Amino acid sequence: MTKTAEARRAEPLALIEALAHELRQPLSAIESTAYYLTMALPRGERRAQEHALGLQRLIEQANWILSCALQLADTSPLSVQPLDLEELITQVVAARVSDGGAPVQLHLAGNLPQLLLDAGRARHLIESLMAMMTRGSYPEHMLRLRTSYQAVVVLEFAIDVPGNGPEACFGAGAAMGIESARRIAEAHGGSFQSEFGVIEQGSGSSVRFRVTFPESTVAN
């Protein structure tokens, strides 16, 4: 590939990186203001407190959308290394919960073979789907994350949420988040499947995302 072609391929990523950098500065300032409001507002002002918390959630969503855009624009080759997928999952879940994120039900198979994965992209896949799906998480319907080994390594995310379809369930950027996860799985020779089913005896969707990694990614 010529230098000119390489430069043209890098242009969209460079533009989005610059955009993300510039936007995250005002987003950080808005987040600080929202946090100050939650601390300064009287606890009795429930409606105002809810608006301040809602503002913090919108900032988190905006940062997540920017991360997905960066991932979609990144066409650089994978940099694979042997990786314990379940250890990575545990790290991501622990970090998110310590930051105040919604709890997650983990059902890990244990003793999965190590995979040859791009660590940064694998982490983004897990973090992105968790961030998107836990927006609709509530105590009686927590996000369920399961691993298994069935000739391929399977990573499954499932949750029951109000609404039907990605945007109705998870809000703005859902389609971008799903496409980002799909490209990461397929870049590793794996697959990504989504399923939106109707919740029995209720309204809303039973949402399931299934990511598989083939034996070709198993580290020897």
Per-residue pLDDT tens digits of the chain, which is 220 residues long: 455 555 555 577 788 888 788 888 888 898 898 888 888 888 888 898 888 888 888 898 899 999 999 999 998 899 999 999 999 999 999 998 888 888 899 999 998 999 999 999 999 999 999 999 887 666 567 899 999 998 899 999 999 887 777 777 788 899 999 999 999 999 999 999 999 887 666 667 788 999 999 877 776 6
- Region of 30 (left: φ > 0; alpha: ψ -120 to 50; beta: rest) is alpha
Answer with the one of 33, 52, 73 that is the final residue of a domain.
Answer: 73
For the chain, the farthest-separated pair of C-alpha atoms sits apart, in whole angstroms, at 64
Same domain, 109 and 196: yes
| CB count in 10 Å sphere of residue 138 | 12
Contact 132, 143 (CB under 8 A): no
pTM for the structure as a whole: 0.83
Say if residue 87 is in the same domain as residue 148: yes
Q: 156-177 b/e with 16+ CB inside 10 Å = b?
A: bbbbbbebbebeebbbebbebb
Residues 36 and 114 reside in one and the same domain:
no
Could you tell me if 102 and 164 lie in one domain? yes
For residue 100, give its domain range.
80-217
Q: What is the pLDDT of residue 178?
A: 94
Looking at the fold, whether 17 and 116 belong to one and the same domain comes out as no
Domains held by the chain: number? 2
The token pair at 199 is: 């919740």
Backbone angles phi, psi at 36, to 5 degrees: -60, -40
